[in-house]
A = this chain, B = another copy of it.
Amino acid sequence: MDVKTICLGVLTLGDKTGYEIKKHFERAFSHFFVAGFGSIYPALSALTEDGFVTHTDVAQSKRPHKKVYSITAEGRALLMEALLNTPPRHKVRSEFAVLLYFAHLLPCDRLAALIDQRARDIEAMLGNIDCFERDDLPPPSREMVAGLGRAALQAQLNYIREHRDWLLREIDRYQKRGHGSLRRAASGS
């Protein structure tokens, strides 16, 4: 599934500009799917070219001009086909986890800073998940996606809080036993 499909999906909820689609992404499922302008705008251009969406240019007096996109019948058909055939994949790319994995190579204060930063990021996401003022659809699926996100994030936050000090202590001990850390790295092989 690419960004095109998701743009089509969001447009079934009402006509929107590329900017509004991005905002919708952020509000509704930034914790599950990220897409930037760099993928949304080209996706909308391609969809327009193939007749899956149309747009009207709106020149606003007191704002930059904008293009309001609508999904077409062909677009709906394409969306349905994608929704019926996309396998339910789920991919994580966590540079935080990688840093944690190599924690024994890091100074303890850096490690602590990383963990605390990650905790703050999770807290921020938890605070942002779908306080949704129903646009026009209030389907239960929204609640499920929000709940699933909350569950995953809360579990990570709890785990981090419960193991932070333990990890720092253990890493410190590990490094003092002579393993890893910058010392060894700086000394060549």
Contact = CB atoms under 8 A, between A and B. Distances in A.
Interface of A: 1, 5-6, 9, 12, 28-29, 31-34, 73, 76-77, 79-80, 83-84, 86-106, 110, 114, 117-118, 121, 137, 139-142, 144-145, 147-149, 151-152, 154-156, 158-160, 163, 166-167, 170-171, 174, 179-180, 182, 185-186, 188-189
A174 B140 contact: yes
Contact of A145 (B33, B97, B140, B151): B97
Closest 4 CB pairs of A and B: A155-B155, A32-B97, A88-B96, A103-B141
Contacts of A155: 151-152, 154-155
Given A117-B87, A118-B88, A100 B12 contact: no
In the complex this chain forms, how many copies of it are found?
A: 2
**Most B Cβ at <10 Å: residue of A1, A80, A92, A159:** A92
B91 A140 contact: no
A43 to B, nearest CB: 14
A73 B148 contact: no
